[in-house]
């Protein structure tokens, strides 16, 4: 068995990015951020960051401008719900890719 | 169990099975106890809480609201390096079912005393072995004691076995028949047990300076971790649990032999035998029922039948090849089960038949379901069942579709 080398007898891992796999693959819709509406980007200073606070997967950065890591974003849509400026829209992955194809 | 004389002052106490189990846990220096009282297990929890409150046992006694939590406490404490103990019966064990899987899957050497009791519906508090047999596929080692000395001895051995192979162990003994029946028990001195049983070394180390995840979502296939090492998928981990149980036979026997050297009572086999050497008729049973079968054997021997008894001590891992070796000379095998896998037969009978397959052992196998819900099993009834089965030897019918029930229907 090729995995004996890890020498674990139960599931064991060190905390790290991507320990549960690329969870972005689970997503059915993804967040699109409109920088023109986003408060930190508009004011060019640390403000709001409610999406960063609420994101359960910690894939939103506390930076100007805000960045969303789509490798691990599961597409729950909480950020879009909590954004007071309604700067985040959820876009359906399938519809988006079929539009891209056509 | 072979008794050998050893040079030390013996401390023979008159104990019921529950007190023998509690003494076994105390002598094993358990560090965390979490249990919820249920008949007929309750005196185990009462005795251990008295030990802790009275300062006789340096352990944390966690009073929980149910059995699921009891085993959750034990698995968590085991994970951070404590030797843990819980005890239960019947519905309590059924309520633990999920955590039984968790303890085995996480490879935590928890020890559990199961005081065998029937399970509802309808309500019944008396003895049979349906409760622990229903948990046989959870990945636990199962040891069945035939008397109170074996309960105490098995408790101490259970920790040594569990902590060597990292598989949890269930020590099972019959409710009331053993749990509430007093008999002389040799209680070994603490220093001897300390010599036999070293402190627990956990394989899971929780250290804030070096944080680890244990038993997170594990996908079906192996994957490379953040350090670039290929790690097990779910199926590889489950295979390792099976492998650990397959290999645990050697550990169980070695620990039983070491126990004999230290305490004078050797447990060098997965089962015990009574007059098997020349027997062509063999009674197979588990726990105290097998002891009753030896009384039946006395009368059958007097009548000229060559009868012996195979009393299964370890049910998981099931000692397939040992059983085949022991049953080699038998022409008629009578399996008495205090449990039933509904729609088929008693669990012991299925295991025996599966062990015999392909070994050119064309013995008649008969299965009897006995003693459910505390129904009394008399030695005379066992002997009658053997006599009733003798004509089958001439008929050459090796197997029957369903077992015979020893009740009034």
Question: Of B86, B135, B133, whose CA–CA distance to B112 is shortest?
Answer: B86
CB-nearest to B231 from A3, A17, A18 is A3
Contact between chains at B203 and A10 (C-beta distance less than 8 A): yes
Exposed/middle/buried for B400, CB within 10 Å: 0-12, 13-18, 19+? middle
pLDDT in tens, B292-349: 999 999 999 999 999 999 999 999 999 999 999 999 999 999 999 999 999 999 999 9
Q: Are B114 and B131 in contact (CB under 8 A)?
A: yes
Mean pLDDT score across all residues of chain B: 96
For chain B, report the end-to-end CA distance as a whole number of angstroms.
38
- Hey, how many other C-beta atoms are within 10 angstroms of the C-beta on B306? 18
- Hey, how many other C-beta atoms are within 10 angstroms of the C-beta on B45? 24
Chain B residues with beta carbon closer than 8 angstroms to that of A16: 225-226
B187 three-class SS: coil
pLDDT at B6: 59
The strand pairing partners of B87, in sequence order, are: B113
Contact between chains at A2 and B222 (C-beta distance less than 8 A): yes
pLDDT in tens, B378-394: 999 999 999 999 999 88
Q: Are A40 and A90 in contact (CB under 8 A)?
A: no
pLDDT in tens, A17-76: 777 678 898 899 999 999 999 999 999 999 999 999 999 999 999 999 999 999 999 999
How far apart CA B115 and CA B110 sit, in angstroms, is 16
Contact between chains at B203 and A19 (C-beta distance less than 8 A): no
Instruction: Write out the two tokens for B39.
Output: 């008949």
Angle, CA of A23, A28 and A33, to the nearest 5°: 85
Chain A's closest residue to B207, CA to CA, is: A14
Contact between chains at B107 and A10 (C-beta distance less than 8 A): yes
pLDDT in tens, B32-91: 999 999 999 999 999 999 999 999 999 999 999 999 999 999 999 999 999 999 999 999
How far apart CA B248 and CA B243 sit, in angstroms, is 8
Query: At residue B189, what are phi and psi to the nearest 5 degrees?
Result: -70, 150
**Cα of B75 vs its chain's centroid, Å:** 19
Task: Please give the CATH architecture assigned to the domain spanning B271-405.
Answer: 3-Layer(aba) Sandwich (3.40)
B window 194-223, beta carbon within 8 A of A: 203-204, 211-219, 222-223
pLDDT at A18: 75
pLDDT at B227: 85
Instruction: Please indicate whether the domains covering B2-202+253-262 and B271-405 agree at the CATH topology level.
Output: yes
pLDDT at A1 over 60: no
Could you tell me which CATH number the domain at B2-202+253-262 has? 3.40.50.970
Q: Are B8 and B262 in contact (CB under 8 A)?
A: no
- Hey, how many other C-beta atoms are within 10 angstroms of the C-beta on B285? 30
Residues of chain B with pLDDT > 90, as a percent, come to: 90
Chain A residues with beta carbon closer than 8 angstroms to that of B211: 14-15
Whether the ω angle into residue B379 lies within 30 degrees of 0, i.e. cis, is no
- Would you mind telling me the total number of residues written for chain B in this entry? 409
Instruction: Write out the two tokens for B170.
Output: 């269930």
CA distances from B219 to A19, B109, B215, B237, B255 (A): 11, 24, 11, 11, 36
pLDDT at B8: 65
Contact between chains at A9 and B227 (C-beta distance less than 8 A): no
How far apart CA B36 and CA B115 sit, in angstroms, is 13
How far apart CA A11 and CA B79 sit, in angstroms, is 13
Angle between helical axes of B97-105 and B234-263 (0-180°, round to 10):
90
CB-nearest to A10 from B105, B222, B227 is B105
Structural domain boundaries in chain B? 2-202+253-262, 271-405
More confident site: A93 or B143 = B143
């Amino acid at each position: 068995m090729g995995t004996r080398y890890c020498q674990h007898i139960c599931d064991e891992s060190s905390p790290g990015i991507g320990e549960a796999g690329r969870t972005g693959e689970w997503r059915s819709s993804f967040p699109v951020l409109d920088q023109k509406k986003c408060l930190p980007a508009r004011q060019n200073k640390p403000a709001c960051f409610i999406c960063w606070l609420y994101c359960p997967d910690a894939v939103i950065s506390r930076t100007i401008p805000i960045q969303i890591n789509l490798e691990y974003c599961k597409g729950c849509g909480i950020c879009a719900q909590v954004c007071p400026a309604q700067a985040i829209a959820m876009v359906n992955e399938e519809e988006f890719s079929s539009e891209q194809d056509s | 169990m072979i008794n050998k004389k050893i040079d030390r002052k013996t401390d023979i106490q008159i104990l019921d099975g529950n007190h023998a189990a509690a003494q076994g846990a105390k002598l094993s220096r358990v560090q965390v106890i979490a249990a919820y009282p249920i008949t007929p297990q309750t005196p185990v929890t009462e005795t251990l809480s008295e030990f802790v409150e009275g300062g006789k046992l340096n352990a944390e006694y966690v009073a929980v609201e149910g059995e699921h939590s009891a085993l959750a406490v034990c698995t968590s404490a085991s994970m951070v390096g404590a030797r843990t103990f819980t005890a239960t019966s019947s519905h309590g064990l059924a309520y633990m079912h999920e955590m039984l899987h968790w303890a085995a899957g996480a490879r935590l050497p928890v020890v559990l005393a199961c005081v065998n009791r029937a399970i509802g519906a309808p309500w019944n508090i008396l003895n049979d072995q349906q409760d622990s047999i229903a948990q046989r596929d959870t990945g636990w080692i199962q040891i069945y004691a035939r008397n109170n000395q074996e309960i105490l001895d098995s408790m101490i051995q259970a920790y040594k076995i569990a902590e060597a192979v990292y598989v949890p162990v269930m020590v099972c003994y019959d409710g009331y028949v053993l749990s509430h029946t007093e008999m002389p028990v040799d209680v070994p001195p603490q220093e001897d047990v300390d010599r036999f049983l070293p402190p627990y070394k956990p394989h899971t180390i929780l250290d804030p300076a070096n944080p680890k995840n244990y038993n997170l979502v594990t996908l079906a296939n192996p994957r490379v971790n953040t350090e670039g090492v290929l790690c097990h998928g779910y199926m590889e981990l489950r295979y390792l649990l099976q492998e650990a149980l397959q290999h645990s036979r050697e550990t169980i026997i070695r620990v039983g032999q070491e126990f004999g050297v230290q305490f004078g009572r050797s447990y060098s086999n997965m089962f015990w035998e009574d007059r098997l050497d020349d027997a062509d008729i063999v009674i197979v049973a588990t726990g105290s029922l097998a002891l009753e079968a030896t009384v039946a054997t006395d009368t059958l021997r007097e009548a000229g039948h060559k009868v012996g008894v195979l009393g299964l001590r370890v049910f998981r891992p099931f000692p397939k090849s040992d059983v085949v070796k022991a049953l080699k000379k038998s022409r008629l095998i009578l399996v008495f089960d205090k449990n039933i896998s509904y729609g088929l037969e008693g669990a012991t009978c299925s295991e025996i038949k599966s062990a015999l397959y392909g070994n050119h052992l064309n013995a008649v196998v008969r299965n009897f379901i006995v003693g459910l819900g505390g129904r009394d099993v008399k030695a005379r009834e066992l002997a009658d069942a053997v006599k009733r089965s003798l004509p089958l030897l001439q008929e050459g019918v090796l197997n029957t579709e369903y077992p015979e029930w020893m009740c009034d229907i």
